[in-house]
Structures are given as C-alpha cells and as structure tokens.
Amino acid sequence: MLEDQIAFLVEADKLNTVLRRNYTVTADRRENSAEHSWHVALTAMLLAEYSNEPVNVDRVVRMLLVHDIVEIDAGDTFIYDSVANTSKEAREQEAAKRLFGLLPESQANELHELWDEFEARATPEAKFAEAVDRFVAVLHNYATHGRGWKENGITRSRVLAVNERVAEGSKTLWAKIQEMTQEAVNQRELAE
C-alpha cells in the first residue's frame, strides 16, 4: 500500500512540468499546473463565502487539488482551443484511469470520484470549484496586463463566452470577471 502511494506521489510531481498558457502574476514565466492547483485550492478557501450555495470547503479544496492531475498524461488543454477541446474528455478519462489506478483501490476510487464530480459540475461544490478554477485563470491574465490574452489573440467576448459558467458557481466571481475584463479592455490589455 505505501509503495503504491509513493509511486502515485512521484507521478503526481510531474504536474510541475506541465506548462499552462497563463503566466505567473510576475509575468516572468508560464505557470505550471501544480502551481495552478495550489493557487485555486487557496482561492477556494479564501473565497468560499462567494459561492452561490453553501459548500463543504474541504471537499472543494480536495477536488481542486486533484482536478488537473490528468494533465500529466493528457497535457493542459487551452480553454480557448476549440479543436483540442474536442478530444480533451477522452484523453483525460484515459489519464484518470491510469493515474488514479496507481493508488490502493479505496484511495483510487476516492480521488477518481472527486475528479468525476468536478467534471460533472452537478454539485454545489463542483460548480464552485469550476468557478474558482476559471476565475484564477482570468485573474492571472488580468494581473499580467493581458499577456496571455494578447499572445493568443483572445478577445473579451471570447473570455466571457468561455467563462460564463462561472456564474453557476459564483455570481460574485462572474461579476468580478466582467469587471476585470472591461477594465482590461479600457487599458488596451484585452481586445474587445
């Protein structure tokens, strides 16, 4: 059992090598998925009061800590890449099966269930977790003066269209996204 858990932990550390399109808030380098997972978990702890419904914060944090583990095998699929997103679910399902399968059965089931819950977005916890996940990505772009948006030719209308589901988990965070993106447009950091 311990050997399986250690094998999983060693494998999970590979999340440090998966680069995202967003930059760290210092804008000196691209963020990796492990950093992102930590940041969204911390954000959920701090902003839980803005969930549309009461949530079990511990469950949200646990969900956010495992939601991107599949990127070790599947890679980070850029949210604005409609072509890559067509195969994302299949790639991630296969990755989840392999990666969670490294653990002892009870832990494998527990983590896989958390991951499935996040993907299904049916519970208040999953809706809030996704809202936080998307909010942090927008926050990073906003804090880096639109660096990632500009490099990828992303417009405000595209940011809003792709992220409108944030409102299902947090109307407050959705309003903040609308505010930040409008300010970014006004500052010429995001195209209209």
Q: Does residue 191 lie in a domain region?
A: no
**Residue 93 is assigned to a structural domain of this protein:** yes
Report the C-alpha gap between 131 and 129 in whole angstroms. 5
pLDDT reported for residue 181: 98
Q: Dump pLDDT digits (tens) for 144-178.
A: 999 999 999 999 999 999 999 999 999 999 999 99
Give CA 7 to chain center in angstroms: 24
- Domain-located, residue 55: yes
- Residue 21 in domain: yes
pTM, 2 dp: 0.95
pLDDT reported for residue 26: 86
Question: Looking at beta carbons, which pairs linking 97-101 to residues 24 or more positions away fall under 8 Å?
Answer: 98/73, 99/8, 99/11, 99/12, 99/69, 99/70, 99/72, 99/73, 100/69
Q: How many domains does the chain have?
A: 1
**Are the CB atoms for 33 and 47 separated by under 8 Å?**
no
pLDDT for position 162: 96
Q: Are 73 and 91 in contact (CB under 8 A)?
A: yes
Query: Domain for residue 79, yes or no?
Result: yes
Q: What pLDDT, on a 0 to 100 scale, did the predictor assign at position 156?
A: 98
d(CA 83, CA 96): 21
Residue 164: give its domain's CATH number: 1.10.3210.10
Gap between the Cα atoms of 79 and 133, Å rounded: 11
Rounded distance, CA 180 to CA 157, Å?
13
Would 83 be classed as within a structural domain?
yes
Residue-wise pLDDT for 85-108, tens only, equals 899 999 999 999 999 999 999 999
> What pLDDT is recorded for position 31?
94
Q: What is the pLDDT of residue 13?
A: 97
User: Apex CA 115: angle with CA 117 and CA 37, to 5°?
Assistant: 120
Q: Is residue 192 part of a domain?
A: no
pLDDT for res 11: 97
For residues 190 and 82, give the distance between their C-alpha atoms in angstroms, rounded to a whole number.
20
Q: If pLDDT is split at 50, 70 and 90, which confidence band does 27 have? A: confident
CA angle 144, 142, 159 (to 5 degrees): 125
Instruction: Please report the pLDDT score of residue 183 as a whole number.
Output: 98
In a domain, 103, yes or no: yes
43-80 confidence digits (pLDDT tens): 999 999 999 999 999 999 999 999 999 999 998 988 89
Q: Computed over its alpha carbons, how large is the radius of gyration of the chain?
A: 17
Note down the domain range covering 159. 2-186
Asked if residue 62 lies in contact with residue 111, where contact means CB atoms within 8 angstroms, the answer is no
- Whether pLDDT at 179 is above 80: yes
Gap between the Cα atoms of 40 and 131, Å rounded: 10
Average pLDDT, the chain: 96
How much is the pLDDT for 81? 87
